[in-house]
Structure 1
Amino acid sequence: MPQAGPKLLTQIAAVHFVSHVHIMLIPALLPVLPGLLGVGFVELGVALAVFNIVSALVQAPLGYAVDRYGARKVLKAGLLLGSLSFLLLAVSPSHAVLLVAMAMAGLANGVYHPADYALLANGIEPARLGRSFSVHTFAGFLGSAVTPALFLGIASVFGTPAALVVGAVFGVAALLLISIPGSGVYQAAGPCDKGGAGSAPATGRLRVFTPMIGVLTVLFILLNLSTSAIEKFSVAALVQGQGLNLAWANTALTAFLLCSAAGVLCGGALADRTRRHGLVAALAFALAAALTTLVALGLLQGWTLVVVLGAIGLLTGIIAPSRDMLVKAAAPPGAEGKAFGLVSTGFNIGGAIGPVAFGWMLDQHLPNGVFMASVVFMLLTVLLTLTQEAYSTRRRTTEQLARLL
Structure 2
Amino acid sequence: MTTAALDVPAAAPPVPLKRDATVIGLVGLAHGTSHFSHLLLAPLFPVFIRDFGLSYSDVGLLVSIFFVISGVGQALAGFVVDRLGARPVLFAAIFCFLLAALSASQATGYSGLVLVACLAGLGNAPFHPADFTILNQRVSAPRLGHAFSAHGLTGNLGWALAPVFLVGITALADWRTAYFAAAALYAVVLSVLFWQRDHLRTEVVVREQNAPRGAELAYLKLPVVWWCFAFFLLSTMTLAVVQSFAPSILQSLHGVSMEAATLTVSAYMLSGAVGMLVGGFVAAYGQQHRLSSERVVAYAMSAGALLLLVCATGWLGNVGTMVALAATGFAVGVGGPSRDMMIKKATPKGATGRVYGTVYSGLDVGFALSPVVFGQLMDRGWYSATLVGAALVLFLAVFAALGVGRRAA
TM-score, scaled relative to structure 1:
0.89
Among 350, 373, 382, the alignment partner of 2:366 is: 350
After superposition, the C-alpha distances for 1:109-146 in whole angstroms (9 at most, x for unaligned) are 10111111111110001110011011011111001112
> What does residue 6 of structure 2 align with?
none
- Offset of 1:28 from its aligned partner? 1.2
Q: Could you tell me how far apart the structure 2 residues matched to 1:141 and 1:355 are?
A: 20
Question: Which aligned pairs between 1:282-297 and structure 2 lie closer than 5 A?
Answer: 282-297=298-313
> What does residue 5 of structure 2 align with?
none
- Offset of 1:247 from its aligned partner? 4.3
Matched, 1:67 2:85: no
Segments of structure 1 that go 5 or more residues without pairing to the other structure are 396-405
Matched, 1:321 2:337: yes
- Offset of 1:38 from its aligned partner? 4.0
Matched, 1:253 2:268: no
> What does residue 284 of structure 2 align with?
272
Instruction: Among all aligned residue pairs of Structure 1 and Structure 2, give the percentage whose two residues are the same amino acid.
Output: 27
- Residues 93, 122 of structure 2: 8 Å contact kept: yes
Q: Could you tell me how far apart the structure 2 residues matched to 1:283 and 1:207 are?
A: 32
> What does residue 211 of structure 1 align with?
223
Q: Could you tell me how far apart the structure 2 residues matched to 1:254 and 1:300 are?
A: 20
Question: Which aligned pairs between 1:119-268 and structure 2 lie closer than 5 A?
Answer: 119-180=134-195, 183-186=198-201, 189-191=202-204, 205=216, 207-209=218-220, 210-268=222-280
SS in 2 for 1:30: helix
User: How many residues matched?
Assistant: 385
> What does residue 373 of structure 1 align with?
389
Q: Could you tell me how far apart the structure 2 residues matched to 1:127 and 1:77 are?
A: 30
- Residues 18, 170 of structure 1: 8 Å contact kept: no
- Offset of 1:334 from its aligned partner? 2.2
Q: Return the letter of the residue paired with 1:14.
A: L
- Offset of 1:35 from its aligned partner? 3.7
Q: Could you tell me how far apart the structure 2 residues matched to 1:311 and 1:157 are?
A: 34
Q: Return the letter of the residue paired with 1:33.
A: F
Segments of structure 2 that go 5 or more residues without pairing to the other structure are 1-11
- Offset of 1:253 from its aligned partner? 2.7
After superposition, the C-alpha distances for 1:86-105 in whole angstroms (9 at most, x for unaligned) are 21231243211211221121
CA RMSD of aligned residues (A): 2.2
SS in 2 for 1:29: helix
- Residues 286, 382 of structure 1: 8 Å contact kept: yes
TM-score, scaled relative to structure 2:
0.88
Q: Return the letter of the residue paired with 1:239.
A: Q
Q: Could you tell me how far apart the structure 2 residues matched to 1:369 and 1:175 are?
A: 44
After superposition, the C-alpha distances for 1:134-182 in whole angstroms (9 at most, x for unaligned) are 1011111001112112211111222111111222222222211111156
> What does residue 405 of structure 2 align with?
389
SS in 1 for 2:285: coil
